Amino acid sequence: MPIFEYRCRECGEKFEAIVNSANSGTVCKHCGSKKLDQLLSVFAVAGSGASAAAEPGPCGACGAARRGMCGE
């Protein structure tokens, strides 16, 4: 089931709710209002591939061997 983020138009509270297709009765967890705006959520995935295992370079920004070599 997806998790959606909402902001209440009545009290301004932000919250998350697990919503299935049969559940259309989401209400504010703070004040109980049904006047909600659905927010855009950021989707993040933690990986363990080669890019996730790279050692940071000297400046810590990338895996370059020396400063100034980022992107080479």
Per-residue pLDDT of the chain (72 residues; tens, 9 = 90+): 678 899 999 999 999 888 876 556 889 989 999 999 998 876 655 555 555 445 555 566 666 666 666 665
Tell me the two tokens of residue 2.
Answer: 């997806």
pTM recorded for the entire structure: 0.53
Domain locations in the chain as residue ranges: 3-41
Backbone angles phi, psi at 71, to 5 degrees: 85, 0
Instruction: Count the alpha carbons within 13 Å of 53 in the hemisphere toward its beta carbon.
Output: 3
Task: Enumerate residues 6+ apart whose C-beta is below 8 A from 33.
Answer: 8, 9, 10, 11, 27
Amino acid identity, position 21: S
- Report how many helices (DSSP H) and strands (DSSP E) the chain contains, helices first: 1, 3
